[in-house]
Amino acid sequence: MQIYLMRHGLTEYNLTGRFTGRADVPLHPDGAAQAEQVHEMLKNVQFDRVIASSQQRAVRTAQIVAPGHPVEAMEELVELDVGTWTGHTWAEVEEMDPEGARRHEEDWTAAVGGGETADDMFERVGRAVREVLATSALDDTVLIVSHGGPMRVLATLLLDLPKEVYWHLVAGQGSYSLLTAYPESPLWFSIAEWNSRRIR
């Protein structure tokens, strides 16, 4: 099995350094261009399934990368809910919620802005991982397009790594990574590519 993991392309919130969370913002033109570049890089890959977070920036990225493929939207793959921090920069968060900002810096697993905890995100993304693996063939090639947080969780879970490795698995904007496993059960994934994208 091959699983291509991709973080959606740039949005206006990404460009202005704002927490996006559950805000359903569209792709920025630069983000669409990033997706087009990945499409060119992967145009010879035959995907058996194309899966995306249900948020429009992920769905649109998937449509550009794999045109003509139906996109399976999964609610479990949406970005971390950052509650009251949504739409704000870190500087704004430090001013309006200094206690929350301090708590987040001390404990990355704590709820963000009254939204989700890291455990919440790991639990729901874990459900998505189990569903995808249970409903895919052992020799399938799957594209999954999601967000910065869930991308790290997907890689951590598929590689069967400790939760703390999350912060070491940076998912670059508009880049893809490839995890591969031999077509046998149980699947054991390894990293074939990480943060691949075309440099302009």
Q: Is 172 helix (H, G, I), strand (E, B) or coil?
A: coil
- The angle subtended at Cα 130 by Cα 104 and Cα 165, nearest 5°, is 35
* pLDDT tens digits, 60-110: 999 999 999 999 999 999 999 999 999 999 999 999 999 999 998 999 889
Out of 76-85, 150-159, 179-188, which region has the weakest mean confidence (pLDDT)?
179-188
Which residue ranges make up each domain of the chain? 2-196
pLDDT value at position 199? 59
Burial class (CB in 10 A: 0-12, 13-18, 19+), 67: exposed
**How much is the pTM?**
0.95
Pick among 3.40.50.300, 3.30.70.3170, 3.40.50.1240, 1.20.1540.10: CATH of 2-196: 3.40.50.1240
Residue 200 pLDDT class (50, 70, 90 cuts): low
Task: Walk across the sheet containing 190-196 and list its strands.
Answer: 71-74, 49-53, 141-146, 2-7, 176-180, 190-196
